[in-house]
Amino acid sequence: MKAPLLAAGIIAATALGATAPAEARPIHAPPAASAQIDIQTVGHRRHYGERHAMPRRAVVRSLYRRGYRDVHRVHFRNGYWRARALGRRGVVALKIDPRNGHIVRRRLLQPVYHAPRHRQPFQHQQRGGVTFSFGFN
């Protein structure tokens, strides 16, 4: 008694399950529903790629945040931002990635002279017959 009912249930479930997904979704997507192609024109060759680059102000701001000061001569050439700035070691020429502001190349132009540090001699003070000595080795 259970076997014929079980067999009938399996046949009914298989028949309904096999036809339902085929009716629910189309086999092929229509060609009209494809993504639209966006064509961007680029102007004069000299400014090629400048449209997709960071603006000059953002480049200068990123250099200041990285510790450079006196940022000047910022211009876009050959697909990269170029600038001069004052860093820890002196005046440097920088080549900057136009999309994210990372420094691609850094060249030292004018080093800064740092005077060597000398040890301070001991300073002796005398008050009322007692001598005090201040200093570090």
Q: Please report, as a single letter, which amino acid is at residue 100.
A: N
Query: Where do we find the tokens 């009938």?
Result: 8
pLDDT tens digits in sequence order for the chain, 137 residues long:
667 766 777 777 776 665 555 555 556 655 555 556 555 554 445 555 556 789 999 999 999 999 999 999 999 999 999 999 999 999 999 999 999 999 999 999 999 877 666 666 666 555 665 665 666 65
What residue type is 96 in one-letter code?
Answer: I
Q: Are the C-beta atoms of 61 and 74 separated by less than 8 Å? A: no
